[in-house]
Amino acid sequence: MDRWKQALAAVKFQSIADSMRRPEYGEDGLDPGFHPNDVGATDDLHQAAATGDRTSDDGHDHDEEKANASTLRDVQDQEAADIIRTFGLHSKHVDGLSTGATTPEGSSTAATTPDGLGGEPASAPVNAGLLSTLLRLSQLEKTSKNLINKEVFLNKEYLDEDAARDRRTKWYEDPNMKKSSSSLPKLSFTPAAVEQRRLKRQRKKAKKLTVHVASILARQRYIMQLCRAFMAYGAPTHRLEQYMVMTAGILDVSAQFLYMPGCMVMSFDDRETHTAQVKLVRAVQGMDLSRLTEVHNIYKSVIHDKTGADEAAEELDKIMKRSPRYNKPFIILLYGLSSACIGPWAFGARPIDLPIIFFLGAFVGFMQHVVAPHSILFANVFEVAMAIITSFIARGIGSIHATGPFADLTGRKYVFCFSAIAQSSICMILPGFSVLCSSLELQSHQIIAGSVRLVYTILYSLFLGYGVTIGTTAYGLIDKGATGEGSCVGEPQEPYGNKYVQHFPFVAVYCILAGLVNQARFRQTPIMAVFGLIGYLPNYFLSDRLGSSTGLANTVGAFALGTAGNLYSRLWHGHAASAIIPGIFTIVSSGLAASGAIISGLQYSKQIQDGTINDATVVNSNNSLTGLGYGMIEVAIGVSVGLFISAVVVYPYGKQRSGLFSF
């Protein structure tokens, strides 16, 4: 009876999982799939392993070192001899055997004559490189031409002999006609017939090699397309090398990969000729969560031998040529709504501030998606320009005094909150995704990619901080009565009735909108909202207790978010990196808000406005310009440490075929 209950429970769970679109196979957590040392060239290690231990226990045994060196030379000489013999650059006769000699008893021709000897080049192995296959094809063509010339010569010789014999003798005087019928089958084994059959076999092999060359090109093209799609649609960068290595292994392509931000270096190796074909795949880092899911499904189908490389390449072409799921006007609307939703829980915005934040956020989205793509020059200064414009407008609106119809606003000198408007307007262009990628790359010990991306993230943040400082200072020079309040006056939760209502519902809605901004499907957004709340709850309560010291709060929030993402991957086979992206955005925004790094240049602007500039002001100026950069470093460190610990908790012993990071 218990067995029937267990079976029914398993069937019920499977039906629920199918209805909720649980992936059929595979998990994709936040931990690295490979250690970087496992994806490079290892030919030298295999060659050294063939010689055995090169030193004795004490490390000074000269005779053993000499013997190992001799063995290594023998291995290299044998490898070189195999290359020469394989492609027909050998002598027609094997050394040690004279013409007509036979192979010694107990050995075979395969031992002294590798594939490709004896006049018939071997067909290419499954994982042969492009150059070796072309060399084999060229050798077959040369052999076929020789056979054709020989066949023409033999046929001409036989025709001449037959014509001469016909002129000399009659048919009844032909000596062949007097032979018995038992000798007639021998006529089919004339040299011309043998050469024709041999030529037919050569042409068949040439056709197979031609098909093999086309197959190699198709598989390499699919690998490059897959890499470009992953990079363009926001795949977790710490797993790109793993994706490529596993794909190349399944497709029997010998290749090595090195990822750097914005490009992937591919080396398609030919082990038979010891050559390599290097490709550099470059793509602008983008974010399209719906198409990323489709590309990941294609990758999985190829890995599990359900789809061929040709068919998968065609599907990738269709996906990459397809227009985005949501058009630009809808994305601009989402930018405004996202900025308005982030204001209350991150920067204490009040309901009266939300319309202003909405319009400024929509303006930022319009400039990013409409103007910047059509102007390379503006795209280069987009971040600084948006920070200057929005902070300038925000300080101007925030300087409106509470008079006239707003005179009943007790305890408030200004109608709008400058700090909430200025910070919420640019939150959609904060480098949250770069912080996530750099953290995961450093966790994977991908030092080059992780450090480069982290430095870029810091400099990007410095650009934003510089723009905010310039914008606020510029308006202060124009209006001597400009506001200097660095936070919203009064109790921010008063208009909402409860501080929890002010935070948690807006966080969930923001995560949904942030997912839609990044082209996610609607059915992907619920899990994003759940993960966003999981990451924000510990961050909120710890920030409330610790104040502006956000390091521990960011670490605990990232740990909770990373643990949920890894469990989602391990138990539900989901794509963890895509699901936690909005949650990372909440940690970045709340961390910068708690530290006040975005508007750290306001004090410097007030001193310029009041005309109280001195040496201390210069120091404060430098601190204000670098405040956002330091704040981003603090957030990045907290996120990195939290994700490190979460990977250890969920995958304490690593994963199959994986080399988890170690300290």
User: Per the structure block, which two tokens stand in for 580?
Assistant: 């936690």
Q: Are 520 and 578 members of one domain? A: yes
The secondary structure of 435-501, three-state, reads: HHHHHHHHHCCCHHHHHHHHHHHHHHHHHHHHHHHHHHHHHHHHCCCCCCCCCCCCCCCCCCCCHHH
With residue 270 as reference, give the H or E element that holds it: strand 263-270
- Confidence (pLDDT) at 496: 76
> Which strands form 263-270's sheet, in the order they lie side by side?
255-260, 263-270, 275-282
Specify the pLDDT at position 446.
87
One domain for residues 285 and 425: no
Say yes or no: 506 and 576 in one domain: yes
Q: Is residue 291 assigned to a domain?
A: yes
Quote the mean pLDDT of the chain. Answer: 74
Residue 279 has pLDDT above 70, yes or no: yes
Asked whether residue 638 is domain-assigned, the answer is yes
Per residue in 550-570, pLDDT (tens digit) is 678 889 999 999 999 989 888
Residues 421 and 453 occupy one common structural domain: yes
Q: Using the 8-state DSSP alphabet, how is residue 120 labeled?
A: S
Q: Which two tokens stand for residue 441?
A: 């790359």
Residue 224 has pLDDT above 50, yes or no: yes
Q: Is the Cβ–Cβ distance between 238 and 644 less than 8 Å?
A: no
Instruction: Categorize the per-residue pLDDT at 95 as very low, low, confident or very high, splitting at 50, 70 and 90.
Output: very low
Q: What is the pLDDT of residue 414?
A: 81
Q: 105 in helix, strand or coil?
A: coil
Mean pLDDT (whole number) for 590-618: 65
Contacts of 41 (CB under 8 A, 6+ apart): 256, 269
Tens-place pLDDT, residues 362-379: 999 999 999 999 888 888
Give the number of C-alpha atoms closer than 13 A to the C-alpha of residue 150, restricted to the C-beta side. Answer: 15
| Last residue of one domain, picked from the residues 321, 348, 376 | 321
Amino acid, res. 74: D
pLDDT bucket at 610, cuts 50 / 70 / 90: low
Q: How far apart are CA 503 and CA 342, in angstroms?
A: 9
Task: Please report the pLDDT score of residue 113 as a whole number.
Answer: 37
Do 441 and 486 lie in a common domain? yes
Tokens (6 digits) for 376: 């390379």
In the numeric block, which tokens belong to residue 343? 């204001």
If asked whether residues 345 and 234 sit together in one domain, one would say no
Domain of 243 in residue numbering reads as 222-321
CB atoms < 10 A from the CB of 186, how many?
9
Structure token digits, residue 418: 């400058």
Which pTM was predicted? 0.73
Residue 130 neighbours by CB distance under 10 Å: 18
**With 60 as the cut, is the pLDDT of residue 167 above it?**
no
* Residues contacting residue 235 through CB under 8 Å, at least 6 positions apart: 243, 292, 295, 296, 577
pLDDT at 573 over 70: yes
Q: Is 342 helix (H, G, I), strand (E, B) or coil?
A: helix
Q: Does the structure show a pLDDT above 60 at 157?
A: no
pLDDT at position 319: 92
Highest averaged pLDDT of the listed ranges 48-52, 476-480, 572-576, 616-620: 476-480
Give the mean model confidence (pLDDT) for residues 135-163: 54
Mean pLDDT in residue range 156-183: 53
| Residue 16 located in a structural domain | no
Q: Would residue 104 count as lying in a domain?
A: no
SS3 state of residue 21: coil
Residue 505 falls inside a structural domain: yes
DSSP tally for the chain: helices H, then strands E? 23, 3
* pLDDT tens readout for residues 61-93: 556 555 555 665 666 566 666 655 555 544 444
Does the pLDDT of residue 16 top 60, yes or no? no
Q: Are residues 311 and 341 in the same domain?
A: no
Q: Cα–Cα distance between 440 and 451 in angstroms, integer?
A: 11
- What's the average model confidence in pLDDT over 228-254? 89
311 and 389 in a single domain? The answer is no
Tell whether 376 and 313 lie within a shared domain. no
Q: Quick one: pLDDT at residue 435?
A: 85
pLDDT at 153 over 50: no
Q: Supply the pLDDT for residue 94.
A: 40
Indicate whether 572 and 608 sit together in one domain: yes
> What confidence tens digit (pLDDT) does each residue in 635-656 have?
888 888 898 898 888 888 765 5
Residue of 341, 349, 342 whose CA lies nearest to 493: 349
Q: Which residue pairs, CB below 8 angstroms and at least 24 apart, start in 181-187?
A: none
Determine whether 244 is exposed, middle or buried from the number of CB atoms within 10 Å of its CB (0-12, 13-18, 19+): buried
- Alpha-carbon span 168 to 174, nearest angstrom: 10
Output the pLDDT for position 529: 94
Q: Is residue 142 part of a domain?
A: no
pLDDT at 54: 45
Q: Which of 272, 305, 321 is the last residue of a domain?
A: 321
Q: Are 289 and 524 in contact (CB under 8 A)?
A: yes
Residue-wise pLDDT tens digits, 308-354: 888 999 999 999 999 889 999 999 999 999 999 998 888 888 888 89
Residue with tokens 């094809």: 137
Q: For helices 499-517 and 328-347, give the axis angle rounded to 10 degrees.
A: 150
Query: What local confidence, expressed as pLDDT, does residue 119 receive?
Result: 41
The reported pLDDT for the residue numbered 102 is 40
337 lies in the same domain as 288: no
The Cα–Cα gap between 567 and 467 comes to 40
Q: According to DSSP H, which parts of 479-614 are helical?
A: 499-517, 525-546, 551-572, 576-579, 581-595, 602-610
CA distance 25 to 573: 7
What is the per-residue pLDDT for 401?
80
Give the closest residue to 338 by CA, choosing from 357, 351, 324.
357
Find the mean pLDDT for residues 608-628. 61
Neighbours of 573 (CB within 10 A): 16
Distance of CA 110 to the CA centre of its chain: 44
For residue 25, pLDDT over 70 is answered with no
User: Would you say residue 501 lies in a domain?
Assistant: yes
User: What is the number of other CB atoms lying within 10 angstroms of the CB of residue 480?
Assistant: 9
CB-count burial class (<10 Å; 0-12, 13-18, 19+) for 650: buried
When pLDDT is cut at 50, 70 and 90, the band that residue 47 belongs to is: low
Determine contact, residues 515/289, Cβ cutoff 8 Å: yes
Count structural domains, the chain. 2
- Name beta bridge partners: 268: 255, 277
Predicted local distance difference test score (pLDDT) of residue 533: 93
Q: What is the pLDDT of residue 103?
A: 40
259 within some domain: yes
How many CA atoms are closer than 13 Å to the CA of 42, on its beta-carbon side? 10
Q: Of 257, 286, 321, which residue is a domain's last?
A: 321
pLDDT at 409 over 60: no
CA distance 36 to 261: 16
Q: Are residues 616 and 558 in the same domain?
A: yes
Q: Is the pLDDT of residue 607 over 90?
A: no
**In percent, how much of the chain has pLDDT > 90?**
19
